[in-house]
């Protein structure tokens, strides 16, 4: 039914009709815009909060580990100091024994270093005194333990002479140095570069009919806009750093740039230049009855770019020339851009940037599982190969979007690591 | 005086002076649109304020597929519909498949002022008011209105028929009053 004169008369009457708003209206709009900017700023801050949280987590872990290591080193140093003190006692004991020996045998005094030798300890054994019960023992290699002398009565030793003793040499000839295993442990850090080719599946729940379509333009059309998504090629580049927590465990983190491609297609084109697609449907002007929709299948290149911050714990399964490590962790993927381009370049490309109007969340989280094989091809340099599977544990699309997405990806990473010692 | 592209660019950058210029260019015509969808000026200004905030927020998504004026009006109408949606209950009156109107009975609206016509629209029941605006003034078809408001096309037609009858009565009364005034 066409529209009659009555409707046309009303339309003409209101065509270009104007009414001046009150002066307060613009002030209200300005306040609304400012409020919106604050909300947007707060949302933007959420990025940095996640980045800071990941950074703090990594930094705290690293700091805690370094602190723990230095504490262990301190306690072993204290242990060494007490050992040295015992050695001083030995000097004193030996000195007094030698004094006695000197008096008795009128021999020339020896240098301390020379005195504390296995043979002198034997002489101690040969010249027992009342307050000294030297019982030198031999270990299987024939080296006598000075700790045996420690068993002697230390109370009888004149400790006030300690001040007059010459400074303790770093190493005493004939005194074996025993170090605990912890003394040899150091913080082992490594850094590396990697690239990971693989595939990316957005797992869009919008296969088939285009979601969120409320246009009257399709009401009586037998053809409905439909879309399809197929797994595409993905490539990532990144840097990573890690720390060895124990013989078997290590913690690693880093930052990666991801370029994930999805092969998509749609059968509906708006105005012969814009593909109709679930992710862009809200930005298209489809309620216009004059909207010109063409139904022709078009292959699209649908590219997603992310910045990923993975944090992983690894367990060393095999520690030979070739090392095998099993990794698991989480990655925060920060959405950078989504670009949709027709493969034949016949349509205008569409770019979706992060923000409140994008159908995608700015940050979503993934679980990571991987196995890394590494080979030390040069001292401190390792070449690595890591098959890695990543699956979203939080939704990539916003809750208010008309479809959902839990992306997954699989790739085989190639990389180089340098171990700092 | 900035051209349309410069205004869009300035608004995208959040430049307040450019936003103010866009507001000054379109606020008067858009307030009249809001008046048609509301019962009084306060409600209309609330709708306009909300609509302009949406416009400035989403202007970066404007791709030039239609004119800027059409795009702005679409946002204003959508905002007005959302504003009225809670109050809007459309009785599925009589399911009308087709209605034919005899133009001979149509009252002439040329004798009425714009203010009078606006008051007549505002005096309509809310459902009739919205559908009359969408059909007669915005130019939507009943099928399109049905999709927008999630009702059947028959309900849209019957609501419009009621609006049309009520308006005819109001115009008739107004014409009589005007006629008496000039006697």
Q: Which of B37, B54, B85 is the last residue of a domain?
A: B85
B 104-143 residues with CB < 8 A to A: 106, 108-110, 114, 117, 135-137, 139-141, 143
Average pLDDT over residues A287-309: 81
Counting the structural domains of chain B, the total is 2
Q: In the prediction, which pLDDT does A298 show?
A: 85
Residue B22 belongs to a domain with what CATH number? 1.10.1740.10
> How many whole angstroms separate alpha carbon A377 and alpha carbon A399?
49
Q: Are residues B112 and B144 in the same domain?
A: yes
φ/ψ of residue A385, rounded to 5: -135, 120
At B103-123, the pLDDT tens digits run 555 667 788 889 999 999 999
Across chain B, mean pLDDT equals 85
In a domain, B90, yes or no: no
Q: Are residues B107 and B175 in the same domain?
A: yes
Residue B173 burial (CB count, 10 A) = 12
The values of phi and psi at residue A17, to 5°, are: -65, 140
CA angle B39, B44, B46 (to 5 degrees): 125
Is B98 within the bounds of a domain? no
**Phi, psi for residue B18 in degrees, rounded to 5:** -70, -40
Query: Are residues A96 and A117 in contact, defined by beta-carbon separation less than 8 angstroms?
Result: no
| B116 and B176 share one domain | yes
Contacts with B, A 4-43, CB within 8 Å:
4-7, 9-11, 13-14, 16-22, 25-26, 28-30, 32-33, 36-37
Chain-chain contact of B144 with A287 (C-beta, under 8 angstroms): yes
In this prediction, residue A222 carries a pLDDT of 62
A186-212+221-420 belongs to which CATH class? mainly beta
Count Cβ atoms below 10 Å from residue B53 Cβ, excluding itself: 19
Q: What is the predicted pLDDT for the residue at A184?
A: 52
* ipTM at complex level: 0.86
Q: What is the CATH number of the domain that holds B154?
A: 1.10.10.10
CB < 8 Å to A33, chain B? 14, 16, 19, 53, 56-57
Residue B97 is assigned to a structural domain of this protein: no
- Please indicate whether residue A26 or residue A39 has the higher confidence score (pLDDT): A26
Quick: pLDDT tens for A182-211.
Answer: 445 567 899 999 999 999 998 887 555 665
Instruction: Give the orientation angle of helix B16-37 with respect to helix B68-85, to 10 degrees.
Output: 50
More confident residue, B34 or A229: B34
Interface contact flag, A1 B136, Cβ < 8 Å: no
Tell me, rounded to whole angstroms, the distance of Cα B21 from its chain centroid: 23
Residue-level pLDDT at A97? 45
B108 and B163 belong to one structural domain: yes
According to the per-residue pLDDT averaged within each range, which of A148-152, A197-201, B57-61, B103-107 is highest? A197-201
* Alpha-carbon distances of B72 from B56, B69, B76, B142, rounded to whole Å: 10, 5, 6, 23
Q: Which of A242-246, A355-359, B141-145 has the lowest mean pLDDT?
A: A355-359
Instruction: Let me know if B138 is exposed, middle or buried by CB neighbors in 10 A (0-12, 13-18, 19+).
Output: buried
Q: Is the pTM of this model over 0.80?
A: no
Range in A46-60, B36-50, B61-75 with the lowest mean pLDDT: A46-60
Domain coordinates of chain A in residue numbers? 25-177, 186-212+221-420
Q: What percent of chain A has pLDDT over 90?
A: 29
Same domain, B79 and B119: no
Specify whether B73 is located in the same domain as B132. no
Mark whether B79 and B109 lie in a shared domain. no
Q: Which residues pair with A373 in a beta bridge?
A: A324, A385
Domain range for B62 is 4-85
Phi/psi of residue A386, nearest 5 degrees:
-135, 105
Q: Which of residues 78-97 of B touch A (CB under 8 A)?
A: none
Q: Around Cβ B165, how many Cβ atoms within 10 Å?
A: 13
Of B85, B117, B138, the position where a domain reaches its end is B85
């Amino acid at each position: 039914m066409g529209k009659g004169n009555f409707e046309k008369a009303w339309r003409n009457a209101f065509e270009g009709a104007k009414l001046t708003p009150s002066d307060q209206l613009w002030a209200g709009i300005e306040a609304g815009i400012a409020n919106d900017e604050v909300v947007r700023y707060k949302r933007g801050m959420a990025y940095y909060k996640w980045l800071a949280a990941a950074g703090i987590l990594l930094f705290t872990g690293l700091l805690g580990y370094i602190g723990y290591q230095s504490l262990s080193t301190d306690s072993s140093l204290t242990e060494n100091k007490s050992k040295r003190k015992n050695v001083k006692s030995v000097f004193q004991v030996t000195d007094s024994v030698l004094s006695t020996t000197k008096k008795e045998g009128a021999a020339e005094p020896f240098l301390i270093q020379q005195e504390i030798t296995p043979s002198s300890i034997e002489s101690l054994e040969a010249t027992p005194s009342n307050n000294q019960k030297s019982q030198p023992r031999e270990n299987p290699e024939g080296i006598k333990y000075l700790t045996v002398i420690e068993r002697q009565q230390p109370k009888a030793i004149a400790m006030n002479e300690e001040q007059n003793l010459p400074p303790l040499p770093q190493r005493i000839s004939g005194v074996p140095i025993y170090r605990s295993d912890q003394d040899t442990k150091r913080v082992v850090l490594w850094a590396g570069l990697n690239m990971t080719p693989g595939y990316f599946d957005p797992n869009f729940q919008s296969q088939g009919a285009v979601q969120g379509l409320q246009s009257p333009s399709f009401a009586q059309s037998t053809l409905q806009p439909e879309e399809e998504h197929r797994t595409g090629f993905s490539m990532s580049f990144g840097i990573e750093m890690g720390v060895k927590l124990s013989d078997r465990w290590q913690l690693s983190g880093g930052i990666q740039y991801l370029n994930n491609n999805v092969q998509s297609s749609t059968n509906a084109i708006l105005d012969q230049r814009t593909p109709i697609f679930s992710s862009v449907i809200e930005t298209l002007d489809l309620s216009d009855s004059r909207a010109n929709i063409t139904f022709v299948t078009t292959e699209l290149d649908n590219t997603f770019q992310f910045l990923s911050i993975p944090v992983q714990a690894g367990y060393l399964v095999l520690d030979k020339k070739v090392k095998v490590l099993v990794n698991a962790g989480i990655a925060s993927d920060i959405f950078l851009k989504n670009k949709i381009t027709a493969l034949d370049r016949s349509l205008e490309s569409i770019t979706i940037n992060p923000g409140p109007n994008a159908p995608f969340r700015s940050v979503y989280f993934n679980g990571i599982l991987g196995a890394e094989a590494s080979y030390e091809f040069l001292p401190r340099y390792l070449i690595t190969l890591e098959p890695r599977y990543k699956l979203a544990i939080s939704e990539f699309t916003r809750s208010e979007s008309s479809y959902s997405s839990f992306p997954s990806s699989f790739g085989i990473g190639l990389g180089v690591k340098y171990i700092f010692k | 005086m900035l051209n349309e592209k410069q205004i869009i660019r300035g608004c995208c950058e959040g430049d307040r002076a450019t936003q103010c210029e866009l507001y000054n260019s379109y606020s008067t015509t858009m307030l009249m649109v809001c008046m048609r969808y509301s019962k009084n000026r306060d409600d209309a200004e609330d709708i306009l304020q909300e609509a302009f905030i949406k416009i400035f927020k989403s202007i970066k998504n404007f791709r030039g597929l239609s004119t800027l004026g059409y795009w702005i009006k679409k946002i204003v109408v959508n905002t007005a519909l959302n504003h009225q949606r809670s109050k809007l209950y459309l009785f599925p009156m009589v399911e009308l498949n087709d209605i034919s109107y005899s133009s001979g009975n149509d009252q002439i609206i040329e004798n009425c002022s714009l203010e009078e016509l606006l008051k007549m629209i505002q005096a309509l029941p809310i459902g009739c008011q919205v559908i009359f605006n969408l059909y007669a003034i915005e130019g939507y078809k009943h099928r399109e209105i049905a999709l927008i408001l999630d009702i059947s096309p028959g309900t849209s037609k019957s609501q419009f028929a009621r609006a049309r009858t009520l308006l005819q009565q109001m115009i008739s009364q107004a014409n009589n009053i005007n006629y008496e005034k000039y006697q």
